[in-house]
Structure 1
Amino acid sequence: MKSGNEFRQAPIQGETHTVSNVATELCDYNLYAADTALQEAVHREGGQWGDADLRRFGNRCGQARYIELGHLANKYTPELDTHDRFGNRVDLVRYHDAYHTLMQSALEEGLHSSPWTDPAAGAHVVRAGKSFMQSQIEAGHGCPVTMTFASIPSIRQQPEVAAMFEDKILARHYDPRNVPIDDKLGITVGMGMTEKQGGSDVRANTTQAHPIAQAGPGQLYSLVGHKWFLSAPMCDLFLVLAQTGQGLSCFAVSRWLPDGSKNALNVIRLKDKMGNRSNASSEVEFRGAQGWLIGEEGRGVPTIIEMVSLTRFDCMVGSAALMRAGLANVMHHCRQRSAFGAKLIDQPLMKNVLADLSLEHEASIAFCMRMARALDQKDQDEHEANLARLATAVGKYWICKRGPQHSYELMECVGGSGVMENSLYPRLFRESVINPIWEGSGNVQCLDVLRAIGKTPAVLRSFMAEIGRAKGGNRLLDHAMAELGKQFAAIKPSDAHSLQFQARTLVDQMAVAFEAALLVQHAPHAVADAFCASRLGAQQVHNYGALPAGADVDAILARAWQI
């Protein structure tokens, strides 16, 4: 017989193992100081005067408590109250305090206004640099910030309407209350274009607008219809497209009327989106909502196109920011994590992948900042105006399109932990698929490129002249430029079907040549040579991690991570 002592259980241990060989959170660092490519691009494109301010803001963005705001704003997503508890229609969207804190920060920094209030040389460059860093923290709140920023050129086309709202649009004051505009020091602006039956084809819109008293620019109209997408429904003012007797027209529709009563703009429901979760996107109906006509009747698209162009620019910046946020975190991870006897950062194949991802980020930020300079100078320089018209569409298509694969590849670098919802990477991936679709999908951008070239051939001459500045710097780029020139020379305007069928191929080549030209002119040889060899060489493999032998990956990685 066994004694009682033989049946005693082993002592219960408090821990089964020691946690080791894992990374730490990336925080308490300076987003600007750690990003050499960003710093150089800001200086190169005319924003060097903002260096100290960008460095200050980069430090703020890198603090742990600030990074946490992005997590909270996406964990606790917006909720809609169509009515209050007494039965009054309120159309109130409730957000987490983290969202409001990010909005307040963005507006205090002038991300919605600085190029308009302080139009110095390089103003768009400095503003884009700040937006680039803010977007690394959280993308969703950038939607109303961007629309507010982009609304000014369109609203200014109707001076009397601009006089009513512009000062409050440009004010660095965030007021989230659901109250009339007269009760606020600062307001935000949204946009309503697409409808169920039309989508990107806004000329198929059915929303009708009729003059309340008299017709004409600056007059009040009554709108009846719907919008399938109206982002940020808690904005105070919206630019909306609707049909009049003369065709599609643009209107400024406020949530509250001048007499303090609620306008008949009713939020039906919030969109259940896979990404951009912190930002409320909605379906709305206009049930006699009043709005001021901006521009001439029937000129709605030309009136609002300036706003659309600027929101597309911010899509480029936002997608580049997602690349940088993921890259910084993965580089941080790979410097700490070991596998198969060595740190990930020291393993040849991982070096190839990380260096390739770094090249994509550097090319994207170079493209964005070059376009920021074009925005700064387009009113004084025809070449810059042509670039802003054509290359913005090229860049919006290409940089946004590169984002999802980039985000996925970063997740794979981390491994199984990279797909866990308590990490940053799933949010980055979900966000990465938004910008390629919003503000005009890939096909829309490519068709816009063809339209711009067909309508104004000078935009293509400026584009080719711009990339031609790098001629002689790299033989692969020289060959790509020559081939691109041959393709454009062979275009027959009568063969529209064939041209549209090949549009993506053509715009792909334009985008890569533009990025390569910027890097050949301005980046170290290690970066420019590896980019051209991998994107313009014979292999041209589109999966990341296929840099050819001889690429100086150590130099590329050292440049990409300066912490």
Structure 2
Amino acid sequence: MHKPRTSLQTHDVTNQPRPPGDLDLLSDPALFDPLMASFARRDAGSRDTQTAGQHIPHLTAFAKQVGARETRELGRQADENPPRLKAFNAQGERIDEVEFHPAYHALMKIGLEAGVSSRAWSHPGGGQIAHAALLYMMSWADSGVTCPMSMTYAAQPVLRQSDWASVWAEKARTPAYDPKAIPLAQKSAATIGMAMTEKQGGSDLRTNTTRASALSPQEVELTGHKWFCSAPMCDAFLTLAYEDQGLSCFLAPRWHPDGSRNQIEIQRLKDKMGDRSNASSEIEYRGAYARRIGAPGRGIATIIQMAHHTRYDCMIGSASGMRQAVCRAAFHVSQRTAFQKTLIDHPLMRAVIADLALESEAAIALTMRVGAGFDLSSENEREAALSRALTPLAKFWICKHQPAVVSEALECFGGIGFVEETGMARLFRTSPLNAIWEGSGNIMALDLQRALSDKTVRAVFNEDLTRIAAEIPETATLVEGLRSERPENLRLFAQQAALVFSADALAGSALRDMYVQTRILNPTPIWGAFAGRVDLTPAIARTTNWMMG
């Protein structure tokens, strides 16, 4: 807003921090440093070299575009004007469409054209790492729009399993946005959604009751319901249903091959706590056309490949949400004064900001380490095995920490942090989502256990733990316990393993020693309550300098 009045009749408005202006998100060392480290790790484990050079120019341009105040304002508008269900038209005919605010469409266009959903597949050398950076930065504008982008990205490994779905795979990895509700053949690009869980089972997918009746060896009609259908405006949905051979995976398009609307009826949109710009729905299949992907009766094994990638995106989103909250808090307390000092100069505030900054940096570093594993998995068996364990581990740890980090960052604002205009309330409402979506903490702990039951995965996991203990002797005691074949408490095991791998991910960073001191040697449950002497300056400087210009 241009020149608001500061001299009012009863008082002058002073000591009010200004909101951030245009930001270059890639100038934040918390993102740039681990991003470059992941590209380097990718090069070291691959036949390719200089992977970063293929992506940095593109990421640099996107960092400025999505970090611009104008783009972030689109995110606020999209969140404050949630989608509306249009089940019928004026004539009473069924259309099952969702109407969005123009800001939502503008953000979808920005993200999809920049390759948030497609670059991992169109640029395979380093593409998974670049995807993490793109999704991370897109979340600074709005996290709601990243939901359909994430599912469209994650659907590729599933769509590639059946030759007939190649046209869907091609349209889904096209870097363009086509929001029109028309058949696929008439569209320039497509988005893919997911509909798996039902009312009676939730994550227990084997309790699903949706049935598939055969029309041909591959084609079926679906009858049943889905309690959560994410992004119902997508062009098709990967879904699960029972047929004679068992629970199978199908692709259900919004349009029937004959050109009519498919019989997928949206019952209602969820009134959600956060991510309100994105539509989440309950649907019913009423003889809906679908086609099988993968082997009959192997639905969970087929769809889990999508879930593996969306779990990656969950940790990316949570790392982004944490960093946004911490940077906004640091920016605020660096401008506001109280008790004759800038807030950031008060020792207690310095300790809190430094601690939150450290947590956000560790989350980004671990996420990027997982990204390097994703990128190498296709050609490096060792990285593929380690990725199988690190993905649920990192998803468990990073996503679970987001609400605590955002809450403490909000508190740094004082009362104004509880007011919508600061944007902190929006970050807080969204913060629990990623810990729930694609498997809550208990599901992730169980999945980690399942991954480590594979002898190859366990051997690689233990090898990495041994290496880390040698490089960071302070982790040796934890590592000794983590090498146990049968942990008594899976959540404690996941926590301790996450601490060790997070410390490792901070390799080459000035923050590794601080992390080891405050998370491994002298942990406390309260932010900023350091039991030992640590240097707070690097963590604070890395959080404030890039935003203050």
Letter in 1 for 2:418: V
TM-score norm. by structure 2 comes to 0.94
1:187 alignment counterpart: 190
Distance 1:355 1:179 in 2: 51
1:14 CA drift (Å): 5.1
For residues 93-132 of structure 1, the aligned pairs below 5 Å read 93-120=98-125, 122-132=126-136
CA RMSD, Structure 1 to Structure 2 (Å): 1.4
Residue among 23, 36, 45 paired with 1:43 = 36
Total equivalences in the alignment: 528
1:167 alignment counterpart: 170
Aligned residues of 1:470 and 1:518 also touching (Cα < 8 A): no
Matched, 1:528 2:515: no
1:136 alignment counterpart: 140
Q: In structure 2, the residue corresponding to 1:427 is in which secondary structure?
A: helix
Residue among 19, 23, 30 paired with 1:29 = 23
> Structure 1: 5+ residue runs without aligned partners?
1-12, 492-498
> Structure 2: 5+ residue runs without aligned partners?
1-6, 40-50
1:223 alignment counterpart: 222
1:10-51 CA distances to partner (integer Å, 9 max, x unpaired)?
xxx952111111111112121111x11211111111152222
Distance 2:223 2:312 in 1: 31
Distance 1:318 1:505 in 2: 24
**Which deviates more from structure 2 when the two are superposed, residues 130-139 or residues 38-47?**
38-47
2:389 alignment counterpart: 390
1:343-397 CA distances to partner (integer Å, 9 max, x unpaired)?
1111111111111111111111111111111111101111110122111000111
Where has structure 1 moved over 4 Å in runs of 4 or more? none
1:313 CA drift (Å): 0.3
For residues 177-326 of structure 1, the aligned pairs below 5 Å read 177-212=180-215, 214-215=216-217, 219-326=218-325
Aligned residues of 2:524 and 2:531 also touching (Cα < 8 A): no
Letter in 1 for 2:443: V
For residues 352-501 of structure 1, the aligned pairs below 5 Å read 352-454=351-453, 456-485=454-483, 488-489=484-485, 491=486
TM-score norm. by structure 1 comes to 0.92
Letter in 2 for 1:414: F
Distance 1:73 1:387 in 2: 38
Aligned residues of 2:517 and 2:532 also touching (Cα < 8 A): no
Distance 2:158 2:181 in 1: 25
Residue among 64, 74, 86 paired with 2:91 = 86
1:80-104 CA distances to partner (integer Å, 9 max, x unpaired)?
0100001111111011111111111
Distance 1:149 1:366 in 2: 22
Aligned residues of 2:196 and 2:226 also touching (Cα < 8 A): yes
Aligned residues of 1:161 and 1:292 also touching (Cα < 8 A): no
Distance 1:402 1:282 in 2: 27
Aligned residues of 1:467 and 1:518 also touching (Cα < 8 A): no
Letter in 2 for 1:482: E
Distance 2:481 2:214 in 1: 54
Aligned residues of 1:394 and 1:511 also touching (Cα < 8 A): yes
The structure with the larger Rg is 1
Letter in 2 for 1:475: P
1:504 alignment counterpart: 491
Taking only the aligned residue pairs, the percentage that are identical comes to: 41
